[in-house]
Structure formats: C-alpha cells, structure tokens
Amino acid sequence: MPNPRRDALIARLPKAELHLHIEGSLEPEMLFALAARNGVAIPFGSAEEVRAAYDFSNLQDFLDIYYQGMGVLLHEQDFFDLTWAYLRRAAADNVRHVEIFFDPQGHTERGIAFETVLDGIERALKQGEVELGISYRLIMCFLRHLSEEDAGMTLDQAVPHLGRIHGVGLDSSEVGHPPARFERVFARARSLGLHVTAHAGEEGPPAYVREALDLLKVERIDHGNRALEDPALVERLVSEGMTLTVCPLSNLRLCVIGDMADSPVRRMLDLGLKATVNSDDPAYFGGYIGDNFRAVAEALDLTAAEIVTLAENSFTGSFMPMADQIAYLAEIAEVARD
C-alpha cells in the first residue's frame, strides 16, 4: 500500500545515484525536440507513440531502441541538454551525488567526436555542481557486444582527458559477452588510475559476477541480481563489502523480475549485501530514483531502517572522498531521527 510517511522519508533522505546511463535519460519529448532540431528522421509520430514502443521482453529489446534513440544526439549542446535535464530531475529527488555512465562507442561509431560527447556532458555536470549542489563522477562504459580491441581504442581516446573521466564500466548485451573478454583493457584502465565497475548478473550467470571480481577487479557490481543463485558468491560479496547497484524498475521492465515483489533488494539486505537503488535508464523504464525507491519500498514493504540503509549504501558505495561520505552519513542520521 502507498505509505505517505515512507515516501516523505524517501524524499527527505539525501541520496547518491550510482547506476545511471545518461543516454537512458532521453525522454520521448526531448527525443522529438532533438530530432526536429537536428533534422534526424525518427519512426514515431508523437511522444506517446514512442512511449508505447517501450514494451520490452528482455535487455536486447531495450538496447535496440536505446541505440536508436541516441541517434538524435549530434552536438555538444544536445549532450548538455540531455545531462542538464537529468540533473534537474535528480535534484528534485534530493540526489546530491551522481556517478553517471556514458557510452562513447554509441556515438563515435556514428561519427560524433569523443570530445563533443564529453564536453557536453561535463559542462552540464559542472553547472549542476554549482547551481544544484550535485557532485559527480563520470564513468565511461565499454560496449561488451563489441570487441576488446574496440574498447581499447575507446580507452585511447579517453587518455588525453583522464582528469575528466573517473572510471570505466561495462554494459550492453550481457549473455554471450563475459567479462573475461575485457580483462586486458580493464587492467590498462586500472593502471591509468581509473575506477572500475561492470554490469554483471543482470541476465548473465553468477560466473560472470565472479569474472568481474576476479579478472576485471571491479569495485562495484552493476545489478548483480543473479549472484543470489550462488551462496558462496554471496558470502564473498558480503565479506568484501561489495556494492551492488540494483535497478528495480529496470528489472521489472526488462523482465529480469516478474513482479516488483520479486525485487532482490530485501533479500540482499537480509543477507548483508550492500544493495543500492538506482534508475538505470529512467526515460525508458518509467521512473527516476525517487520512483525506484517508492516502488520497491511499497512492493517489499521496506522499513524506515531499510530505506535509510539503502541511502547510506549509496554514499559509502560511491567513489566520493571518505570525508564527504561521512558528512552525508551524518545528514542521513539526522533525517532518520526526525
């Protein structure tokens, strides 16, 4: 049942978002506006028609539309507008820190310069820091359906901008594209001082989560749902204090779960796993971080203490300095006390 007290707590808690693909925040209205501004043809007559097409049976169904949607992003201003719109939504949900993914290969393969993408996203993030008080980290993802060599060329493009990019991730079609294929490029990213994370266990088996840990040496697991099938892996993730960036509405819309009541968030917390709640691709999956918190809290009837833990985990699982994490924990404790 909806619970206004619980929703008020969710709204008042400071939060960090650790799993957000900026291209997945492209709302149908902006898709239309940018298609018109840039003279890009799209096979839809209205924003409503676009929304109706967002009916996915699995990850690949979604990715096909997601890559198509990116086609309207051409200029630095487009990437700025996209990112700025996301940050305003995040601010409205009391998000104070974001660690956002972008998919450079989704743009460079269309002939857009790496710098055009980076400049636009970063300009919005910097403005968000000043005007909205949202700090950030920027994580560049490799598309795992492409080769490790292609990922390596993307890392080469990032090297002149190392101070501006804070980490690398691994996304796109999971099954059939195991983390092991990216061991060398991740080793190079780590040697360059970049943080490392990877999508694993969204559709792929627990073995992919193990590979992400053992071979890519990730600091976080994005999704991680299927880790729950392997008790020894769960034990390891608990003992290592590994953060899992769970995305409840994404799981539902991509049929990773059949019902929100099947969300792994409660089980993860019960097992001592460090779960967080995130929106993944909010424009495609029906909601931003506040929507994700409310949906999962209602379906699982999460307690105030569990919701507080999720907010704490979002900061302690982030790449922000420890002193800043501690300050947010103090603020969360204050909100929780009221």
Nearest to 137 by CA among 241, 242, 20: 20
Report in angstroms the alpha-carbon separations of 134 from 65, 119, 130, 277. 29, 18, 8, 18
Whether 202 is a known active-site residue: answer yes
Q: Is 18 one of the binding residues for ligand HPA (CB under 6 A)?
A: no
Separation CA 128–CA 274 (nearest Å): 28
Q: How far is the CB of 66 from ligand HPA (least distance, A)?
A: 6
Q: Is 23 one of the binding residues for Zn ion (CB under 5 A)?
A: no
In the set 27, 76, 99, 202, the catalytic residue is: 202
Q: Is 171 one of the binding residues for ligand HPA (CB under 6 A)?
A: yes
Q: Is 280 one of the binding residues for Zn ion (CB under 5 A)?
A: yes
Q: Which is nearer to Zn ion, 93 or 280 (CB)?
A: 280
Q: Is 99 one of the binding residues for ligand HPA (CB under 6 A)?
A: no
Question: What sign does the dihedral 211-318-135-252 (CA atoms) show?
Answer: positive
Separation CA 323–CA 332 (nearest Å): 14
Count the site residues for ligand HPA by CB under 6 A. 11
Contact partners, residue 16, CB within 8 Å, separation at least 6: 95, 96, 97, 98, 99, 276, 314, 315, 317, 318, 320, 328
Q: What is the DSSP letter of 216?
A: S
Binds 59: which of ligand HPA, Zn ion, none (CB < 5-8 Å by kind): ligand HPA
Binds 185: which of Zn ion, ligand HPA, none (CB < 5-8 Å by kind): none
Residues in the chain: 338
How many Cα atoms sit within 13 Å of 175 on the Cβ side? 9
Q: Which residue is nearest to Zn ion (CB)?
A: 280
Q: Which is nearer to ligand HPA, 128 or 201 (CB)?
A: 201
Q: Is 27 one of the binding residues for ligand HPA (CB under 6 A)?
A: no
Q: How far is the CB of 106 from Zn ion (least distance, A)?
A: 13
Q: How far is the CB of 59 from Zn ion (least distance, A)?
A: 9
Q: Which is nearer to ligand HPA, 173 or 316 (CB)?
A: 173
Contact partners, residue 282, CB within 8 Å, separation at least 6: 20, 24, 25, 86, 89, 249, 288, 289, 291
What element of type H or E holds 45?
A: none
Catalytic residue numbers read 202
Residues lying near Zn ion in the complex (CB under 5 A) are found at 280
Binding-site ranges for ligand HPA (CB under 6 A):
21, 24, 59, 66, 171-172, 199, 202, 250, 280-281
